[in-house]
Structure 1
C-alpha cells in the first residue's frame, strides 16, 4: 500500500512539473527565518490564494500534494506538515536543521510557481572555557583559552576582558574562527576576568569567567621616612621608614644599615630617639619567592645635633650589598 501511495505522489509530481508555468505574481514568505530547531514555521503566500491543486516541495523532495480539499502528505513529513486549503500556506512543526533549504509551491489551477529559502539553526547551549594553565609568570608565560559549546550551529565568537572587548594585536591572537584566545608574554594587566560570548541569529550564550594568577615584580619601589620623600630630622627624633613595591605575590622585605643586615623584616622600620651614630644609609630589599627577583632602595639619613642645623634626607636607588641578599635567601 505504501509503495502505491509513493507511486501516486510521483505521478502527480511529474504531471505538475510538466504543466506549471513560472509566475512572479505570488511570493512565499516564511513566518520565521532563520528559525531555531523545534520551532514551527509557516510558509505563507502573498497574496494568499485559493489554489485548486498543486504541491509543496523542498528542492526536489515532495512534501505534499492536494486536489481540492484532498491532501496527500509524503511519509517524510507525516504529522509535521499542515496545508491550508484556503490560503495555500504550508506549516512545518518541530523543524530540524535538515529542514533548511528552498521550498517551492507549484499550482496547476491557477498556474503559478514561487519559492523561498529558510534556514534552521541549532540554539547555543553550555558555553565553556578551558585554559592551558592558570598560574602564569609575567613576560615568561603565554595564556591560551579555548571556547566551546555543547550545541549550536553557525557560531560567531567574541571575547571580553572585564567589560572591554578583546581585539587582536601584537600580543593577542584570535584563531580557530575566534574561538581560541592566545596572549603571548602575559603582563600583570592580563589577569582577566575573561569571558567568551557566542551567538548565532537565533540564540546567544556567555561562558563563566576565567581569571589568571600572574606573578610579577618586585618593581616600582618607594621608600618614605615619616611619610615624606624629602625632609629634615634632628638627633632624638623618632623615624618611621616605610618600604613598598609592586609585587605578586606580595614581596618580602629585609632591612640593612650601612650594608649590615638589621634584625627587622616587613615593610616598616621604626627608630626611636635616634642618635648621631644612627645616621647613614638605610636600605630596603624586596624579594619575590615566585619570580626569584629582588629590588632594593636606599635612604641616606644624616642627623643634626641642634635645632638650627637642617639635615636633608634623600632617597637614592643603590645596589644593596650581597650580604643582605644572602641573608634573605637564608
Structure 2
C-alpha cells in the first residue's frame, strides 16, 4: 500500500510558502518541513519548472541534472536542498517528491525569485542638478522607493511632482518652504538602503527692518539694529541722510551722539548668492540738545 501525502500540492506542501527571494551570486536553502531521520529515504526527486531535473537521489546513487553540478547540496536526513551561485535563470518553480520506505510520499513546491542586483551601500545614490527646476533622482534598480522630508513622510505639494515610479522628485518652482532634508528609502526583498539630500533654498533679503530709539539726548549712547529674512545671511550697509556711514554690520553703535547724528537712517541688506538688495523703511532719529551728563 502506498500513501501519497499531497493534499497540499496546490500550495506549498513540505516546502515553505513562496516566493523565496535572493540575489544573483547568492545561495538559497530549500528547507523541507520534515523531521530529520536516520532512515534513508527510498528516493528524492527535485525538479525545476516541472520539467528540468535538479537531482534524483536513490539507494543506487545520485543523478544531478545539467547545470547543477557543483551548485547543489542535498541533505539526506530532511531532503532539503541548497542551491548556490544563483543566476537570473534560476527564477521559477521548484518541486520535490520524497519517497519513504513505508510507502509514504511527501510532495511540495515553492517559487524562487532572483533579483539582478543588490542595493549597494553608497553615499551618492541621489544625484541632483539645480537649474530653473530642481530634480532629485534615484538612479538604481529597486523594488520600492519611499521619500521623506525632515523625518516625516513626504506629501508632494503643488510645486512637486513624483514620477518614474517615485524615482524622480521634481520641483517646478522652488519655494522657501522646500528648504530641508529629503530622504529616500529604497528596498527590494533582499536589501535596502537610503540616502539624504539637504536642500538649501537661497532667498531674500526680505522684510528689512531697523529697531532702535527715535529720540535720544546728546552725548547719549546709540544702538540701531538691522534685520532681514535671508538665506544666506545678508550683509548690511548703513546710510545717514543718503551717505554711507557703516558697512558689513547688523548694528550701528555710537557711544556719544552729537546733534549731527540726527536724521534719516536707512539699512540696506544684500544677499551674495541671490545678488539681491533690499532697503529698510526710513528710521528717523532726533538728537536733543539736553545733555543728561
TM-score bracket for this pair, using the shorter chain length: 0.7 to 0.9
The answer on 1:119 being equivalent to 2:113 is: yes
In structure 2, the CA distance between the partners of 1:91 and 1:255, relative to structure 1 (3 Å rule), is: closer
Specify the alignment match of 2:228 in structure 1.
Answer: 245
Determine whether 1:129 maps to 2:126: yes
**What TM-score do you get using the length of structure 2 for normalisation?**
0.77
After superposition, the Cα gap between the structure-2 partners of 1:201 and 1:295, relative to the gap in structure 1 and judged at 3 Å, is: same
Greater radius of gyration (CA): 1
Question: Deviation digits for residues 65-116 of structure 1, max 9, x if unmatched?
Answer: 2333422110211111233344332222333343222111235754454212
**2-structure distance, mates of 1:300, 1:263:** 15
2:4 aligned with 1:27? no
Deviations 1:104-155 (A, max 9, x none): 123575445421223333421144221123xx7xxxx421111123xx6x52
Number of the residue aligned with 1:175: 163
Structure 1 residue aligned with 2:289: 305
- Residues 147, 153 of structure 2: 8 Å contact kept: yes
Query: Which structure would you say has the larger RCO, counting Cα contacts within 8 Å and 6 or more residues apart?
Result: 2
Aligned partners of 2:19 and 2:110 also within 8 Å: no
1:218 maps to which residue? 205
Aligned to 2:154, which of 139, 142, 166?
Answer: 166
CA 1:212–1:89 in structure 2 vs 1: closer, same or farther (change >3 Å)? closer
Map of 2:262 onto structure 1: 279
Residue 46 (structure 1) shift: 3.7
1:57 aligned partner: 47
Distance 1:262 1:93, change over 3 A: closer
May I ask how many residue pairs the two structures share in their alignment?
275
Q: CA deviation at 1:264?
A: 2.6
How far apart in 1 are the matches of 2:266 and 2:77? 94
Unaligned runs of 5+ in 2: none
Contact 1:145 1:180 in 2 (8 A): yes
Higher helix share: 1
How far the C-alpha of 1:29 sits from its partner, in A, is: 2.6
What RMSD over aligned residues (CA atoms) do the two structures have, in Å? 3.3
Residues in 2 aligned to 1:291 and 1:85: alpha-carbon distance in whole angstroms = 73
CA distance in 2, matches of 1:43, 1:120: 18
Q: What's the offset of the Cα at 1:274?
A: 3.0
SS of residue matched to 2:118: coil
**TM-score for both structures, normalised by structure 1:** 0.70
Unmatched runs of 5 consecutive residues or more in structure 1: 1-19, 309-330
Alignment of 1:148 with 2:146, yes or no, is no
Whether 1:265 and 2:237 are equivalent positions in the alignment is no
Query: 2: CA distance between counterparts of 1:103 and 1:61?
Result: 10
Kindly tell me: are residues 111 and 253 of structure 1, through their superposed partners in 2, closer, same or farther at Cα, counting changes over 3 Å? closer
- Residue deviations 1:35-54 (CA, integer Å, cap 9, x gap): 34412313314466864235
C-alpha separation in 2, matches of 1:107 and 1:87: 9
Q: Check 1:277–1:58 CA distance in 2 against 1; reply closer, same or farther (3 A cut).
A: same
